[in-house]
Every structure is written in structure tokens, then in C-alpha cells.
Amino acid sequence: MSEIYHIPAMLQETIEGLNIKPEGVYVDVTFGGGGHSRAILDRMHALETGDLKLENGHLYSFDQDEDALQNAIDDERWTFVHSNFRYLRNWMDYYGIEQIDGLLADLGVSFHHFDCPERGFSFRFSAPLDMRMNQTAKRTAADVVNSYSEEELAQLFWLYGELKNGRGIARNICKARAQRWIERTEELVENLTPTLSSREGGIHILENGEIEVPAQYKKDLAKLFQALRIEVNDEMGALREMLVAARDLLKPGGRIAILTYHSLEDRLVKNFLRSGNLEGTIEKDFYGNILTPFEIIEKGRTACEEEVERNPRSRSAKLRVAEKHG
Ligand SMILES: C[S@@+](CC[C@H](N)C(=O)[O-])C[C@H]1O[C@@H](n2cnc3c(N)ncnc32)[C@H](O)[C@@H]1O
């Protein structure tokens, strides 16, 4: 297990974007290592003055992965919700919350997921093809790889991985699985890199379980594993449901801050914040004024060079912030 669970991206910028009020109700739908959640609570404490009643201020942090609980925060104003964030509305109803002052989503997986070989998120380790963030979910990456049609696989590699040769990869997978069920990461790696297998000795699995892959294949492997992960966890479906719930729950003046890590989710978030609906349809009034529930505050900010150097995984992060109209 990795020592560092996660390093939050654009921490300062995100907290600024949320414009935190000490008495507000906030939701962090992606708790992970708790870096953002801790910063939200710290900001609430720092803003505390004699006049403001802090008993009302609260932070609800969601994570569907129970491993995140090892980062639990000891604060009476904090509640952990072990659930998929697609059920945001149901959980707020459960806690009797009608409106919220702010919501943060730092999408995708944490370092912990990539650094835990046995979870199967990384092509760097020999492991079962799992990739479930919710460890009790039924569908694993092996189920997807072995049961989807060639066409379905090709589509998801293109859509979620932007892999140019998605069709060829899907064909190779289908050929390989006709021989036997593909159940481990290294079998998938071999299928994407047929030339590798014909190298003398094929791919190398080191004694510590690491898979040695030549540099030229790493980019495509990362895309392939990302595509499968998005499908296994229905990441786009959950994001859509959460965005709609967040829009309806936010108070006028409330803020939503979202960190995305690939173009598909970023496009969805961008269009949603611009239009207020999942279709991205811009509606206008009689005079041609755009009707949208949000005012855009941050349009896709990226991490500064210094942060990327310190934390290379922040390179692909994009921060979007919007405020609900009064
Ligand atoms: C990028 S990490 C968040 C890191 C966090 N901001 C921090 O400071 O450590 C994303 C986290 O969200 C969780 N997650 C992703 N999708 C989720 C979903 N649909 N519902 C609940 N949790 C989800 C993952 O399990 C992971 O722990």
C-alpha cells in the first residue's frame, strides 16, 4: 500500500473558488485522502468569529471506496458518506439538508488506487483485472474485457481513451479471449502490444510484480486502462447524475468547484456549467439574454508550473468554478 494516499491538485485555488463561509453547508463528493476536505474545514475554523454560529457549518464528504475511511477527520462538523456521489440528493434528504453552500468534486481516482497493485488500476503491476473503486460492486474490468462485444470495446476505447487504434485493440482482445478468459493486467498488456510478446522473452514481470513495458507503449496503455476504469465505474453516468443534483441543491450564491482530468468529463462539466443542463443547450430569453443558473467564476484553470513539477499528476487537472445565480 502506498504511503501517500493522495496529493490534492490546485488545493489553494479550489478552496478560494468555493468562497467558504464558516456557517455554510459544504459537500466534498470525492474525499479520497481528505486533503481538500481538511482544507475546507480549516478555512471554516479560520473564519470563525465570535458572532458566527459554527454549529450550523458542516462538511459532508463522500467516497465510494471504503479505503478512504483510513483518512477520517476528527471534527464534529464532518460526516463521511460511504456512497457513490450519484446518490447525493438521496443522502442530503437523509440528513435533512435542503440546500448547500458549496460542492467540490475532484474527479477520478486517487494515487492510492494506482499505487495499490492488487486493485488492478495500473498497467505497471501484475494483478487481477479489477479496477472497481467500490470494492463491493459486481462488475470488474475482467468482466468488461471478456463480455463486451468487439464493437462495444472498440467504442469505449475510442470514447473514453481516445485510442486511435481502438478497433485493432478490441480485435486482439477478442482473439485472445477466444482462447481463454483474460483475467490479469499482464494479459491485457500483452494484447495491446503484440510486438512485445514476440520480443525475446515477451514482456517481463519482475520478482516484485512490476511489469516492464517499453516507454513507447506507456501512453496507449494509460489510455486503455483509463477507458476501462471509466466504464467499470460508470464514471460519466455518476457525474451526470451528481451535476443535476448539485445544481438543484445549491443555494443562490452557492459555489460549485470541479476538477477534471480528461477531455470527456471536462467537456461535460464545461457545457453543464455554461448551460445548466446535461445537453449543453443554451436557452435565451425574448431579448436574447442567455438563461443559465450559473455565473462562471473559473473557466478551466490549470496547475502552475511549480505545482506540476512538485506533483506531476496535477498536469492534466482543470478547475472549473461556477456560482449559482441569486
Ligand atoms: C482524485 S481523488 C480525490 C482526492 C481528494 N480530493 C484529496 O484531497 O485527497 C477521487 C476520489 O473520489 C472517489 N470517487 C470517484 N468517483 C466517485 C463516485 N462516483 N462516488 C464516490 N466517490 C468517488 C475515489 O474513490 C477517490 O477516492
* pLDDT single digits (tens) 87-146: 999 999 999 999 999 999 999 999 999 989 999 999 999 999 999 999 999 999 999 999
Band (pLDDT 50/70/90 cuts) for residue 17 is very high
CATH class, 138-232 region: mainly alpha
Ligand 1 in reach of 238 Cβ (< 6 A): yes
Strands 250-260 and 318-324: what pairing? Answer: antiparallel
Residue 282: partners with Cβ closer than 8 Å, 6 or more residues away: 274, 275, 290, 292
Sheet bearing 294-302, strands edge to edge: 78-81, 58-62, 25-28, 100-106, 250-260, 318-324, 294-302
Take residue 164 and report the three cell numbers written for it: 486511435
Atom 13 of ligand 1 has which residue's CA nearest to it? 30
Q: Residue 205: how many CA atoms within 13 Å on its side-chain side?
A: 13
Take residue 201 and report the three cell numbers written for it: 522473452
Higher-confidence position of 202 and 18: 18
pLDDT at 94: 98
Ligand 1 in reach of 133 Cβ (< 6 A): yes
Mean pLDDT of the chain: 92
> Strand locations in the chain, DSSP E?
25-28, 58-62, 78-81, 100-106, 204-205, 211-212, 250-260, 283-284, 290-291, 294-302, 318-324
pTM above 0.75, yes or no: yes
Query: Does 203 score more than 90 pLDDT?
Result: no
Find the 17 Cα to ligand 1 centroid distance in Å. 19
Delimiting residues of CATH 3.40.50.150 domain(s) in the chain: 11-111+236-324
Query: How far apart are the C-alpha atoms of 188 and 209, rounded to whole Å?
Result: 15
Higher-confidence position of 90 and 191: 90
Ligand 1 in reach of 32 Cβ (< 6 A): yes
Query: How far apart are the C-alpha atoms of 87 and 198, rounded to whole Å?
Result: 47
Residue 320: partners with Cβ closer than 8 Å, 6 or more residues away: 257, 258, 260, 266, 269, 270, 273, 296, 298, 299, 300, 301
Ligand 1 in reach of 120 Cβ (< 6 A): no
Neighbours of 143 (CB within 10 A): 14
Take residue 214 and report the three cell numbers written for it: 517499453
pLDDT at 197: 54
Ligand 1 in reach of 68 Cβ (< 6 A): yes
Query: Does 305 score more than 90 pLDDT?
Result: yes
Report, as an integer, the average pLDDT of 239-263: 97
Q: Which fold has domain 11-111+236-324?
A: Rossmann fold (3.40.50)
Query: How far apart are the C-alpha atoms of 158 and 197, rounded to whole Å?
Result: 24
Question: Hey, is 124 helix, strand or coil?
Answer: coil
Ligand 1 in reach of 36 Cβ (< 6 A): yes
Band (pLDDT 50/70/90 cuts) for residue 2 is very low
Q: Give 125-188 as a DSSP string.
A: B--BS---SSTT-S--HHHHHHHS-HHHHHHHHHHHH--TTHHHHHHHHHHHHHHS---BHHHH
pLDDT at 210: 84
For ligand 1, what atom is nearest to the CA of residue 71? Answer: 9
Delimiting residues of CATH 1.10.150.170 domain(s) in the chain: 138-232
Whether 75 and 39 have beta carbons less than 8 Å apart is answered as no
Atom 5 of ligand 1 has which residue's CA nearest to it? 32
What percentage of the chain reaches a pLDDT higher than 90? Answer: 79
Residue 32 is given by DSSP the state T
Query: Does 201 score more than 60 pLDDT?
Result: no
Band (pLDDT 50/70/90 cuts) for residue 27 is very high
Letter for the amino acid at 85? F
Q: Give 213-239 as a DSSP string.
A: --HHHHHHHHHHHHHHHHHHTTHHHHH
Ligand 1 in reach of 33 Cβ (< 6 A): yes
pLDDT at 55: 64
Residue 147's nearest CA partner among 70, 76, 231 is 231
Query: Does 194 score more than 80 pLDDT?
Result: no
Least confident of 77-81, 125-129, 282-286, 312-316: 282-286
Take residue 290 and report the three cell numbers written for it: 442567455
Ligand 1 in reach of 84 Cβ (< 6 A): yes
Determine the residue of 61, 62, 133 to mutate for testing ligand 1's pocket, defined as the one with the most ligand atoms within 8 A of the Cβ atom: 133
Report, as an integer, the average pLDDT of 244-268: 97
Query: How far apart are the C-alpha atoms of 132 and 229, rounded to whole Å?
Result: 8
pLDDT at 251: 97
pLDDT, tens digit, 9 for 90 and up, residues 31-82: 999 999 999 999 998 887 766 555 679 999 999 999 999 999 999 999 999 9
pLDDT at 299: 96
Atom 14 of ligand 1 has which residue's CA nearest to it? 30
Least confident of 123-127, 132-136, 215-219, 301-305: 215-219
Query: How far apart are the C-alpha atoms of 324 and 326, rounded to whole Å?
Result: 6
For ligand 1, what atom is nearest to the CA of residue 11? Answer: 8
pLDDT at 1: 44
Query: How far apart are the C-alpha atoms of 221 and 202, rounded to whole Å?
Result: 16
